[in-house]
Chains A and B, each alone.
Chain A
């Protein structure tokens, strides 16, 4: 059971990684002059949209949500709206935090906001898909021994890796190498993406290695 679950997780995660790679490669065929660095904002949009779409589909297909309660259509709609509001709020929150960390306040607002959207896609959207608009559950998942399934462990790992990647992405900005990827927010968004991808790969492996220690208590 567990092995199969881990295999499913691995497959899903690899699909995500693959889709991110595709977002960097495929648009160049349809759009002359598309590069990840040159038309970074476009790539940010494409990547966010693709990753979120894929994630939603995957979660619908795999049914990773632990409490699949039967609920009315109206309830579903309100849930969906709530999710949208949460996602938007998390974008705003990320934007604020990024600015507080030293991003320009007035110039390049679009870049900062799109970066915040990307980060939200990598973190908040996953939470929304897996846990629904239930902050309490989020708080539980992101604490020690809070994960209750391998999906939640994977969520922990990918979220942390994304944020850590974005954090490390800020490091090359002051260097005087004059590379195109040192421009705000390219290094950070690339860092977040690489962190996310690394998290996606690491999560199944880590769970596999620690499968003896990981005993998820059910509620």
Chain B
């Protein structure tokens, strides 16, 4: 069996896709060039000389109005939280809690005002802090760096404050530490990462806030509270905990106001809002709508507040605060000053003049920024810049003219006022248009890279298809389709590397790998094409065959249209934002259609009716095969699973009437104790049921008989894992304050139990890798007398006990045999579970992975996981049935519909495990399963959250080889039943049909080719979906919904592709590993037995049915020419679900598989099997 070429081929194809994804991503995701320049006090854009003289000391650009400022950031302070509605009789938990703001705003209308503070998406905290300090717009990809805070390189408010000698004191969220390293005069950072922790940050701030304020050793104080945000994440806004938190904030603000002096400006701001579920990150109305409250003990505003609070874009805070505090506006700011804060106490004209001067400064700064930005980058459209430039210069001219007239006092106040008003309007227009321009065009794409990436992905898809069609395990195939293309790619990569080395340019790894990928693809197609004519010539030499070939090919194409049509619909759905939004319903719909179509097609082709003559058609249902009911039941159950799984969907904000599934929230959020307990018990019971089902499946196929460490692990480790998970759920879902003194113990347990599960699961996976054989061999040969023990070195009492029974059986068998048979060799080696050894390893791996992933999800999603396993099981059985009924000529190839339905199920369960391809829907909580405090690295939380998000992708990709193995595990009894009657000559084949997975070993070349083909088909279908996403993102890049729908979808899909392909490789390598182990097992067996005739026979349970040779005197003839070598690789005769190796004549009843099959495979009854034996003899 060629293991490495297969893996290498798949890895190479994955690499091609990755290169395409990387190239496209580098061209698609937005980038904005950060300018390194910063503003300074002596910049030439200062106000006209006459005004400059009046600048008080310590002021830059504009007179300082406040010497001190307190900026209180309450994370996720939605506007509704801050608004006070006296008319509301029964407020929600988050309403009417910040009464102090209302009180100040009504009692001192010229001192305080509430604004709607409009955050720019993405509404993640780090992006908002960046926006709040630089006055610029963060770009899309910044979302990804939310967990790793990087220092801000651009000019920003804090840098300006520090540069101008202000003392900045910070307390709260430690995100700021990473963004502004060493900028603070004094700082009190608290960990922000654990969203379940509501109090650490807030209590820490409160401890330091008042002493610091009273000490007076500060000019600007920033306090960033996180409790409200964390409360939203943990409980949602509509929760009593939120009321507590907001009341706490209210008290804090009340006493803070009392501590403030007259020269201090107080700003209370939310950096973003939150959705109804407490999440944020997107751009829905509730997420971007935060609150801003301004207060000072000296009058701020010239007039009273407007009826409805004004809307202020978030970046506007930057120039306002900068000019109020008398520091330069940060260089890259595109915000507009909030002019009403500059009106002062004077009359209308002087107020307007004040406002005009700040607008002037602001406009000059923005103009300077736009000018220097357009020198560096060309992404701002030139003609619009030109227009803005004209707008600006005309306004400035008018400004100079007006100022001259004011100085000359040649204007009547009334006229002056109107002209001032119109000039302010022009500056405002300029600033707003400049901001709109930047917002619009900081979507800078690299069309060339995008097209290149798209082409690479498309070519890789084509390659997958072509290669899967001609996958064969011949050396020439690997040489021409793998080795040469790889060499081409390597040569190009080396050439590019050399070129870079000579030109001394920086080596862009992405470009090099894309060129290498393109070259190797070219190589592949070149060699494929040069092989092609040969085949055509071969076909041409037989003209009658060619015409038949054409018709057959046409028919094959039509047959292909059925599953591919569904795939086409799925891909087409990626191009419509509505369909992407509704994909949670589209995938199950298509899956159901695919399965129904499959059944319909089988019926249409007459595969479901028995092929008997027309006479029997009149006899009711009898002409329908019995299995058809079984198939229909499977389909019905599959449909029920599909429908039930839709109860676990998360909502997107695009569907306002959607209510998120109740099962998504953790049990801790349930207030009804009884319901909580019931759900808890249900989840634990289901978990136990899963373990029971897996164990009984394994037992049924005889994989639980051995005493290998792995089998022992399955027996004892699985229940232990379930126990740990159950304990963890119990501890995690208990109410926070109900345990009192036990709190510390609970803290330990919350960490310890997940670690126990992690540890146990990794032990299990390691055992699986070390010795994946779940085969129990029993040697009852006379010659050797000893028992073959492939599980060396486990001398436990259980093992000894297990060895006693075979001894007894041996004796019994010997005595019985000697009576019945004469002369021939009588020994057997019974190998239990050999027929399903590959599947058993995969099933064990999948179960372990399932446990891990369930641990990462909230408790009640284990129901969804159970459905997942059930549905996968149904799909496998339907596939097996359909394949058996269709009478496929090619047992080693997995048909397209199976692969497509497998992938449809994978994407269906992506949604049914409570995910959506949008950022707010990511389950960040998963990063804290087993971790109480902050993570030291970013890798671990990324892995945990990634595993949570792509749980179904992982499970389905690892389980993909089951599609190939399952039909062998459940051998097709239908063909056995019919064939003997009609075609007695086919009996030799008949025997082979009992070999289960050992049939794969019989032709190792075909096995490896089949695995390769399966992998390629899987990658093709995955790649086609990815290609559709990529094309949608590229074509619709100026679509209204691109950042809301298509770009996140593309990101999730490509990440899902990466995860799936890696897991697919892992799954296939696990099968290879098992194959290795089987080979060693056979060779060991070979060494211990005498070289001669060896036959593997599949045997069922260790129980009574195993040895009753006396009743069946019919023997099976065994080929006597098998060389020792052939034993390891091939001619193994077997029957029933478990193999047994025997040098000679097996007792026939041992052929009999059990009648009650947990796996649901219909097997012939004992009599029929016996009948076969008689026929054969």
Contact = CB atoms under 8 A, between A and B. Distances in A.
Contact of A139 (B578, B581, B588, B609): B609
A110 interface: no
Given A142-B604, A144-B604, A175-B576, A99 B589 contact: no
A136 interface: yes
Contacts of B618: 136
Contacts of A100: 592, 639-640, 642-643
Given A102-B646, A175-B576, A143 B604 contact: yes
Interface in A92-135: 97, 99-102, 105, 135
Given A175-B578, A176-B578, A144 B606 contact: yes
B585 A174 contact: yes
Given A102-B588, A136-B618, A139-B609, A174 B578 contact: yes
Nearest to B647: A105
Interface string B613-628: 0100110110110000
Interface in A202-219: 219
B702 to A, nearest CB: 36
B615 to A, nearest CB: 11
Contact of B617 (A101, A140, A175): A140
B427 to A, nearest CB: 39
A109 to B, nearest CB: 15
A141 B933 CA distance: 68
Nearest to B579: A174
A86 interface: no
A170 interface: yes
A159 B452 CA distance: 47
**Majority secondary structure, B binding face:** helix
Contacts of B643: 99-100, 102, 105
B603 interface: yes
A167 interface: yes
B582 interface: yes
A175 B1041 CA distance: 14
Interface string A139-176: 11011100000000000000000000001001000111
Contact of B620 (A102, A136, A142, A174): A136
Interface residues of B, number: 30
A100 B639 CA distance: 6
A167 B640 CA distance: 18
B603 A174 contact: no
B547 interface: no
Contacts of A219: 614
A41 B836 CA distance: 55
A70 B643 CA distance: 47
B874 to A, nearest CB: 13
B617 A136 contact: yes
Contacts of B621: 135-136
Interface in B628-658: 639-640, 642-643, 646, 654
Contacts of A167: 593
Nearest to B643: A100
A100 B618 CA distance: 32
Nearest to B589: A102
A130 B219 CA distance: 92
Contacts of A174: 578-579, 581-582, 585-586
Given A100-B592, A101-B592, A143 B581 contact: no
B624 A139 contact: yes
B578 A143 contact: no
A135 B623 CA distance: 12
Nearest to B600: A142
Given A102-B643, A102-B646, A143 B617 contact: no
Which of A100, A105, A140, A144 is the most central at the interface, judged by chain B CB atoms within 10 Å of its CB?
A100
B605 interface: yes
A105 B603 CA distance: 29
Contacts of A99: 643
A167 B719 CA distance: 45
A105 B644 CA distance: 11
B421 to A, nearest CB: 42
Interface string B536-580: 000000000000000000000000000000000000000011110
A115 to B, nearest CB: 16
B59 to A, nearest CB: 53
Contacts of A135: 621
B598 to A, nearest CB: 15
A143 B623 CA distance: 14
Interface in B443-478: none
Which of A105, A142, A176 is the most central at the interface, judged by chain B CB atoms within 10 Å of its CB?
A176
B589 A143 contact: no
Contacts of A139: 603, 609, 624
A92 to B, nearest CB: 14
Interface in A55-109: 97, 99-102, 105
Contact of B589 (A101, A142, A144): A101
B565 to A, nearest CB: 12
A97 B595 CA distance: 13
A139 B592 CA distance: 21
A170 to B, nearest CB: 7
B588 to A, nearest CB: 6
Contacts of A97: 639
A102 B614 contact: no
Nearest to A99: B643
A176 B656 CA distance: 12
A199 to B, nearest CB: 16
Interface in B73-126: none
B801 to A, nearest CB: 50
A95 to B, nearest CB: 13
A137 B614 CA distance: 12
Contacts of A140: 617
Contacts of B588: 102
Given A100-B592, A176-B578, A143 B603 contact: yes
B589 A170 contact: yes
A23 to B, nearest CB: 29
A105 B605 CA distance: 34
B158 to A, nearest CB: 43
B882 to A, nearest CB: 16
A100 B636 CA distance: 9
Contacts of B593: 101, 167
A213 to B, nearest CB: 15
A102 B588 CA distance: 8
A136 B654 CA distance: 49
Contacts of A144: 604-606
Nearest to A100: B639
Nearest to A174: B582
B609 A143 contact: yes
Contacts of B606: 143-144
A77 to B, nearest CB: 22
Nearest to A160: B600
A176 B654 CA distance: 10
Nearest to B628: A139
Contacts of B639: 97, 100-101
Contacts of B579: 174-175
A148 B592 CA distance: 31
Nearest to B588: A102
Contacts of B609: 139, 143
Contacts of A170: 589
B604 to A, nearest CB: 5
Interface of B: 576-579, 581-582, 585-586, 588-589, 592-593, 603-606, 609, 614, 617-618, 620-621, 623-624, 639-640, 642-643, 646, 654
Interface of A: 97, 99-102, 105, 135-136, 139-140, 142-144, 167, 170, 174-176, 219
Given A135-B621, A136-B618, 5 more contacts: A99-B643, A102-B592, A139-B603, A143-B605, A144-B604
10 contacts: A101-B639, A102-B646, A136-B618, A139-B624, A143-B605, A143-B606, A144-B606, A167-B593, A174-B585, A176-B581
Counting from the closest, the 5 A-B pairs by CB-CB distance are A174-B582, A100-B639, A175-B578, A176-B578, A100-B643
